[in-house]
């Protein structure tokens, strides 16, 4: 690539991997670093400032559960001082009214609450703990305090059929934004994909319902529907390109092009305790490994879509083909496509499992030591 | 979504934050997961969306600022505000009562 290094637009700050929930599709790594290695407030403050200097505009304060950090108010204040637009990405467990008010005073801009379904029995089964009622209460309180609210729902075989009811719940809660994100199959979710991947019939119905809701609620509630790439012909333009718009810093300070990239074992990721964020973003070998198009093998190299989807997802290529540089098998042109198709076809005839039945077969996310 | 009326008072939504991009120096509106880069006229309009002025008053102020007739400005300003509204970035008050 000859052009100058792009600027990052957003930083995902994974403040901790500790979490009161145990969702079986968690995007955190399957092996989690110990809590004692977490970056301190002064280290995060430096990261926020360096990210803003690089051009980042948004920071997602995420986890795990960011409320597990006792210094969260200070972290929010640091993000605000750096000029970043901050979004708290939370389960809402631990979000009391005084805490939320303190976060608002510190400059928190918006809050994103995850819900697992529209009703407690299923939602709690998925979260692996009784959390649903607490979440709804917190969502209402957040709106009363005047925060913009995003509701995020990860979709999978167990809840995707309830999409219209999930939209209705988000409306009742006064959400201004609703993310309907089909499960992406890495880490925990990959271990559970046999139970989680929706059938084609479910996907078609959900897609139609999501588009209808988007039309109906235009200007009131923004609806994002992330289609599952297992059912597409073209891969997703993952992160809009490797090291192009986004960076993730994990709890112990490793800097990643996306939250799951740490699972690519052939790459060495640098740490903010040893290097500046600018050096890592512009110079490090991990960030440059898949930048631009020169690294691409065929069929990507000569593909007319190469600067549209960037060859898809590196993590998925690593996971399904054992080489992160291969074309993402979610692309119909991938030589490894057949393996993915065979899996997708193998689950089409399953009857939709009951939550109780499914949960006995799911492996639930565990907490770091 | 009905078009905004000259007697209504537009105000940037609390979810929107107007600031300067430190890389480009351009005015931007930040909102959850998004950014809108403003041109100079968009910036001038957004700055006046405080909830204090009616659309008609905003147009009158811009007319003085840019030396363009209100009749020419009104459709342009309305168009810009409708774009903000479609992204849920604008609150509108008429007679003190607010709806989005």
Q: In what order do the strands lie in the sheet with A149-155?
A: A222-226, A177-182, A149-155, A110-114, A85-90, A58-62, A10-14, A246-249, A255-256
3-state helix, strand, coil in chain B (%, to 5): 40, 25, 35
List phi, psi (to 5°) of B28: -135, 155
CA–CA dist A226, A369 (Å, integer): 33
Residue among A85, A150, A177 whose CB faces B30 most closely = A85
CB within 8 Å: B14 and A58? no
pLDDT tens digits, one per residue of A336-345:
999 999 999 9
Closest CA in chain A for residue B17: A85
Closest CA in chain A for residue B89: A219
Q: How many CA atoms lie within 13 A of A224 on its CB side?
A: 17
Percent of chain A whose pLDDT exceeds 90:
87
Q: How confident is the model at residue A3 (pLDDT cuts 50, 70, 90)?
A: low
List phi, psi (to 5°) of B30: -100, 140
Which of A165, A150, A221, A208 minimizes the C-alpha distance to B1?
A: A221
Q: Return the pLDDT at A220.
A: 85
User: What residues of chain B lie within 8 A of the CB of A146, using their CB?
Assistant: 14
Residue B1: is its pLDDT beyond 70?
A: no
Q: Return the pLDDT at A356.
A: 74
CB within 8 Å: B30 and A221? no
Q: Does residue B71 sit at the A interface (CB-CB below 8 Å)?
A: no
3 state DSSP class of B31: strand
CB within 8 Å: A83 and B17? no
CB within 8 Å: B22 and A83? yes
Q: In Å, how far is A358's CA from the nearest CA of chain B?
A: 33
Reported as type and span, the H/E element at residue B47 is: helix B40-48
Q: Does residue B15 sit at the A interface (CB-CB below 8 Å)?
A: yes
Contact A48, A74 (CB under 8 A): no
CB within 8 Å: B32 and A221? no
Q: Lowest mean pLDDT of A28-42, A323-337, B38-52, name the range.
A: A28-42
3-state helix, strand, coil in chain A (%, to 5): 40, 15, 50
CA–CA dist A47, A41 (Å, integer): 10
Most B CBs within 10 Å, among A4, A56, A57, to test the B interface: A57
CB within 8 Å: B85 and A219? yes
Alpha carbon A82 to its chain's center: 23
Q: In Å, how far is B100's CA from the nearest CA of chain A?
A: 7
- Range B45-54 average pLDDT: 96
């Amino acid at each position: 690539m000859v052009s100058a290094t792009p600027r990052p637009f957003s930083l995902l700050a994974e403040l901790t991997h500790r979490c009161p929930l145990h969702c079986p599709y968690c995007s955190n790594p399957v092996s989690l670093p110990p809590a004692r290695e977490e970056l301190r407030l002064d280290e995060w403050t430096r990261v926020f400032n360096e990210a803003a200097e690089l051009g980042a505009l948004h920071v997602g304060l995420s986890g795990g559960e960011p409320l597990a950090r006792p210094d969260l108010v200070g972290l929010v204040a640091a993000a605000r001082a750096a000029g970043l637009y901050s979004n708290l990405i939370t389960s809402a467990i631990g979000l009391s009214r005084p805490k939320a008010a303190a976060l608002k005073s510190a400059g928190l801009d918006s809050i994103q609450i995850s819900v697992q379904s529209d009703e407690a029995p299923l939602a709690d089964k998925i979260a692996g703990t009784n959390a649903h009622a607490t979440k709804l209460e917190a969502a209402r309180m957040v709106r009363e305090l005047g925060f913009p609210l995003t509701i995020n729902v990860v979709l999978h075989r167990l809840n995707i059929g309830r999409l219209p009811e999930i939209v209705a719940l988000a409306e009742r809660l006064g959400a201004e934004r609703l993310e309907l994100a089909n499960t992406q199959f890495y880490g925990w979710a990959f271990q559970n994909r046999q139970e989680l991947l929706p059938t084609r019939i479910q996907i078609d119905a959900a897609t139609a319902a999501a588009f209808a809701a988007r039309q109906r609620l235009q200007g009131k509630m923004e609806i994002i529907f992330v289609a599952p790439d297992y059912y597409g012909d073209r891969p997703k333009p993952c992160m809009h390109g490797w090291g192009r718009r986004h960076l993730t810093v994990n709890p112990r300070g490793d800097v990643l092009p996306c939250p799951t990239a740490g699972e690519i074992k052939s790459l060495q990721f640098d740490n903010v305790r040893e290097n500046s964020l600018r050096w890592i973003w512009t110079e490090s070998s991990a960030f440059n490994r898949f930048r631009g198009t020169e690294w691409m093998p065929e069929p990507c190299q000569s593909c007319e879509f190469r600067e549209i989807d960037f060859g898809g997802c590196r993590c998925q290529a690593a996971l399904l083909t054992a080489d992160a540089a291969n074309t993402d098998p979610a692309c119909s042109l991938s030589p490894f496509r057949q393996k993915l198709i065979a899996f997708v076809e193998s689950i089409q005839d399953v009857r939709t499992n009951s939550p109780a039945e499914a949960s006995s077969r799911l492996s639930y996310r565990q907490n770091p030591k | 979504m009905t078009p905004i009326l000259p007697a209504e008072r537009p105000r940037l939504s609390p979810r929107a934050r107007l600031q300067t991009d430190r890389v480009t120096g351009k005015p931007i509106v930040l909102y959850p997961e998004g950014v809108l880069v403003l041109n100079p006229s968009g910036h001038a309009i957004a700055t006046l969306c405080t909830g204090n002025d009616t659309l008609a008053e905003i147009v009158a102020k811009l007319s003085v600022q840019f030396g363009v007739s209100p009749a020419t400005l009104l459709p342009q300003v309305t168009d810009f505000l409708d774009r903000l509204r479609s992204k849920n970035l604008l609150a509108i008050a008429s007679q003190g009562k607010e709806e989005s």
